Copies of this chain bind each other. A is one copy, B any other.
């Protein structure tokens, strides 16, 4: 991972969603670089054990609050101190973001808008973490940033997909109106330590099932593809994007171009687990994308970045971390969302 530039290393940085999976890695990397980091998180889907890892560190402040509500005084007082604002706040896995679709939409629209207003007041650079879900079930492969997507705005995934699209719209409008200096990352599938066990995403699902000795759940035929990026690579890209200079802000895909089927992922898991794993097939959820692979030409050109962690190594780190969590903690069921 490249170190952040001087502005971030010496900066005072707000990370919304900083207790979440990617957010907690980002906070740690920014602290490592010397930044003052304030994390605002509503703890809706954050893994609670991520916080103690950060809370003991110098220059780290945690504020429990929901960005759909008016921002707390501790954030809005003295806005000029903020040099950078990262917005990673939103439930990101379908079962969690679909539990309260109104809240998911408002997190993306009202929450993002409040943070943009703060960036405007602060003169801070603002980075939105958007998602490959803005491409929906894509009909173009791989997906470049100018692909407009294939999203159902009426379906059960829309609260997230359309919410993120609307968050991008707001962000680019602030730039167009010269209200804020913005960056937008479209993050593709990411995996690694510090994910929730019950996150509902495929890598965490399969690892937990393997560790529990259960059959691995495959939705559909398992022939649908994903491209999995290790979280350290993703965080490296986010920090570079925040540091990057652009004549005019454009969205940047952040992901791994190594596209594999879900069944190939199972094979890679078997190598890590050191044994063969049984699978069981379930119906594909509505609007589940069939293929997903980023075109990262822009990230290569603008950020000088591409993923460097091989799948086998990333899966090994992740598997070992989950195994450690399972032995360290009480029964797995105690960690599940009620």
Q: Which A residues contact B (CB, under 8 angstroms)?
A: 101-102, 105-106, 109-110, 113, 134, 136, 148-156, 158-159, 162-163, 165-166, 168-170, 172-174, 176-177, 184, 250-251
- B-chain residues with CB within 8 Å of residue A105 when the two chains form the complex: 109, 113, 166, 169-170, 173
A237 CB, min distance to chain B CBs, angstroms: 19
Closest to A179 in B: B102
Q: Inside 8 A of A134's CB, which chain B residues have their CB?
A: 153
A148 contacts B166, C-beta separation under 8 Å: no
Complex contact B153–A150 (CB within 8 A): no
Question: With the chains together, A156 CA to B174 CA distance in Å?
Answer: 11
**Interface pair B148/A172, CB less than 8 Å apart:** no
Known: A152-B148, A162-B166. A173 touches B109 (CB 8 A): no
Interface of A is mostly: helix
B-chain residues with CB within 8 Å of residue A158 when the two chains form the complex: 165, 168-169, 172-173
B102 close to A173 (CB less than 8 A): yes
Q: In the bound complex, do residue B163 and residue A166 qualify as a contact, i.e. CB atoms below 8 Å apart?
A: yes
Residue numbers in B under 8 Å from A166 (CB-CB) = 105, 109, 153, 162-163, 165-166
A181 to chain B, nearest CB (A): 16
The complex is assembled from copies of this chain, and their number is 2
Return 23 A-B CB contacts under 8 Å, by A number. A101-B170, A101-B177, A102-B113, A102-B170, A102-B174, A105-B113, A105-B169, A105-B170, A109-B166, A110-B110, A149-B151, A153-B165, A153-B166, A153-B169, A154-B172, A154-B184, A155-B172, A156-B176, A159-B169, A159-B173, A162-B169, A163-B166, A163-B169
A168 partner, pick from B113, B154, B176, B184, beta carbons under 8 A: B154
User: Are A162's CB and B159's CB within 8 A?
Assistant: no
Residue of chain B at shortest CB distance from A146:
B152
- Quick one: given A109-B105, A176-B101, are A154 and B169 in contact (CB under 8 Å)? yes
- The winner among A106, A153, A169 for most chain B CB atoms within 10 A is A169
Query: Bound complex: CA of A250 vs CA of B153, how far in Å?
Result: 11
Residue of B whose beta carbon sits closest to that of A184: B154
Chain B residues within an 8 Å CB radius of A101: 169-170, 173, 176-177
Q: Which residues of B contact A151 (CB under 8 A)?
A: 148-149
Shortest CB distance A156–B (Å):
7
Given A101-B176, A105-B170, A159-B173, 11 new contacts (CB under 8 A)? A102-B174, A110-B110, A134-B153, A148-B149, A148-B150, A148-B153, A149-B153, A154-B172, A158-B168, A163-B166, A163-B169
Q: Which residues of B contact A102 (CB under 8 A)?
A: 113, 170, 173-174
A110-B109 Cα distance, complex, nearest whole Å: 8
Nearest 10 CB-CB pairings of A with B: A101-B173, A153-B165, A158-B169, A162-B169, A166-B166, A109-B109, A154-B172, A162-B166, A153-B168, A148-B150
Q: Which residue of the partner chain B has the closest CB to A174?
A: B102
Closest Cβ neighbor of A155 among chain B residues: B172
Q: Which of B162, B170, B251 contacts A165 (CB 8 A)?
A: B162
- Looking across the interface, which residue of chain B has its beta carbon closest to that of A112? B105
Q: Which of B113, B150, B152, B251 contacts A154 (CB 8 A)?
A: B251
* Interfacial chain B residues near A163, Cβ < 8 Å: 166, 169
